[in-house]
A and B are shown apart, each in its own frame.
Chain A
Amino acid sequence: MVGKPQHITIAFDVMGSDHGPEEVVRGAAQLSLESPHIHALLVGDRPVIDAALAGIKHNGERISVHHAADFVGMDEKPGEALARKPESSVAVAARLVAEGEAHALVSAGNTGAGVLACKRHFQLIPGVRRAALATVYPTRGVRGAKQDPFSLILDVGATVEATAEDLVAFAVMGSAYARIISRNERPKVALLSNGIEPQKGPPRVVEAHQRLSQMTGLNFTGNVEGIDIPRGTVDVIVTDGFVGNVCLKMLEGVHDTVMELAQYAYKESLRWRAGLAMLSSGIERLKDITDWEQYGGAPILGFDRIFIKAHGRSKARAIANAGKVAAKAVANELGTAIQEGLAR
């Protein structure tokens, strides 16, 4: 387990993001100006990084570069790509974190490759059998000292078939993360099921419910249904990777459909357009509240090192925020908090 360091170095997988390496470099540069205690280790094609860095405002004392010529593209199969490209930026960055050159990894590239690179280079925390990929989702409610409008859903794809034991570990990990990142002292944790009654759901969910109900130190509130996700009824929603991924994609689909409908309405009729214009300040407010860029990224939980997966569409601000989230997780010893939670 990594101890509490005075200066935190975050390794950024510079390649593989939708907006190209320049955007990741810009994010790290922004971080170098804003956070004196965080150092950025940029892993990727050095000439590209140098060219990008030379033209933007940054603090050279807080940035270093590690050359990696290869990278895994968004459309590549993770396993095959990593086998073919052992010196890809995400693999090298994960290795550097494992070797102690950096304390955490941030990547906006191929999610599968990121998870796989972590599996190869990091160790699972004692008591954790499977890692969980978490995501943040904007909700109606706010939570914690930061008035965080996001709830955490895990797992959304790292462990497709989770056992009851895995679900319990996910609950502990999610709770520790929400406590540290959202400064939410007692995050409400729930299992996603097809009914709120304890006996509802497949056997693994029923068994996980029983175990979680008996755990001290965890604010387990029982089961929630799909409708509770956008309502923000709880702070951490626990499910397996299969269901979580289906939920996540459906929620993204709803968001896209609403946006398309708004665009349709805007084009279709002057009256509707006027109506939208009248609502514009409210829409802007909604955009501010649900701005995922302020969150930066979502963690892969369960490893002894921190990995924050930034969205592929992340711009500089989101990358910088992902770096800050990673540094916060390191500074607050997330791994230790998870281990302690599992021991209870």
Chain B
Amino acid sequence: MSLPDRIDPRPPRRIYRWDLDKTYLQTDFESLRDLFRTAFQKAHEKVAVPGASALIRELAEQGDSRLCIVSGSPKQMRAVLEEKLKLDGVQWDEFVLKDNVSNLLRGRFRALRGQVGYKLPVILESRIHAPVEAEEVLFGDDAEADAFIYSLYADLIAGRVDERVLSQVLEAGGVYPDDVARVHEAWKKIPVADPVRRIFIHLDRLTPPAHFTAYGPRVVPIFNYFQAALVLLADGHLTAPQVLKIAVEMVQTAGHNIITLSNSFQDLLRRGLPLQQAAIALSQAMEGPNALLKAMRPVPDILAAFSKRLAALGTQPPPPKVQAVDYVSLISHALPRTHKGRSTKPST
């Protein structure tokens, strides 16, 4: 290969890290029956969370991002999961699944359900190869420990968590020594930077949003991916027409309507997210003939619904305060859901 032919891909400017079950896929594994059903589902039988694939596709539009998927699903499901992603038109750069057979054979029973010892080293190792300036947005759900792990990851690489706290957390999280070593090793190789912009938590179990207050405003619990798209529009990751495309897909495929979308918009406003500019950008994007939006509803109705929700609130509340996260006190959030030490009460 001659030198001019060998063109390396552009280094990623943005990295999007996704969990899979309950974040991208509507998965039930509450009972043994659900677990079996999920394990034997074919790719076309699996259902994505409304708007998730549209959001991923729109985020990839710029061509300078990476999609890294880290899932707790077993490695044996790789073929069917990859097929599902392909069916949805999702292209990924990294796709890591859990090696539960190995955990079982080695008698590492805590690792079967534990998430900290699995996800934290994987995403830290992935970050080693990322350009120091690459921003990150992370997507998880409220079924497991995603808010905790992602926040810890963000604060570790930003240098806001010291070694003592990390050791305490890994010990309390029941992480095996070899995984602890992987975490420390990867962490040391990552240059200090503060790249994590947002952590979206899909409220699959409808956990009250206040449960995540202790993680600060970086963590945004969302009821649907239209909400994520609105925040990403405000953060400059998406354009208004892209957000509208996501909304239209949710309307056409998942029964969303102008009421659910405008309520979702207002829900974020009430939580203090600065979306006024995003609302203006959306309004401008709707002006003029737009065949896409006709599928949803006449444009004046959409504008009216959003404006009414905005006007109904009076003065905008102040944005939530940035605060240091106390990981040691939040460790119960990182334990498996059925663990007796897991707290179910919302944090204040």
Contacts and interface: CB of A to CB of B under 8 A. Distances in A.
| Same assembly | yes
B328 interface: no
- Most chain A beta-carbon neighbours within 10 Å: one of B224, B267, B346: B267
16 contacts: A7-B259, A46-B270, A46-B313, A46-B317, A54-B213, A55-B208, A55-B210, A57-B207, A59-B223, A60-B209, A60-B223, A60-B264, A61-B223, A61-B264, A64-B262, A64-B309
A63 B259 contact: no
Nearest to B314: A67
B260 interface: yes
Contact of A59 (B206, B271, B308): B206
Contacts of B38: none
B223 A65 contact: no
A65 B312 contact: yes
Select the residue from B213, B263, B266 with max chain A CB neighbours within 10 A: B263
Contacts of B264: 60-61
Interface string A3-17: 000010100000000
Given A58-B206, A63-B267, 11 more contacts: A7-B259, A39-B259, A54-B209, A54-B210, A54-B213, A59-B223, A61-B223, A64-B266, A64-B309, A65-B312, A101-B308
Interface of A is mostly: mixed
Interface residues of A, number: 23
B73 interface: no
A202 interface: no
Contacts of A39: 259, 263
B312 A67 contact: yes
Contacts of B223: 59-61
A64 B312 contact: yes
Contacts of B167: none
Interface in B217-234: 223-224
Given A46-B313, A65-B312, A57 B266 contact: no
A58 B267 CA distance: 11
A64 B263 contact: yes
A55 B346 contact: yes
A333 to B, nearest CB: 20
A261 interface: no
Which 7 A-B residue pairings sit nearest by Cβ, starting from the closest? A60-B267, A54-B210, A61-B260, A66-B312, A60-B223, A67-B314, A55-B210
A9 B317 CA distance: 25
A86 to B, nearest CB: 15
Interface in B11-63: none
A54 B270 CA distance: 10
B259 A57 contact: no
Contacts of B308: 101
A33 interface: yes
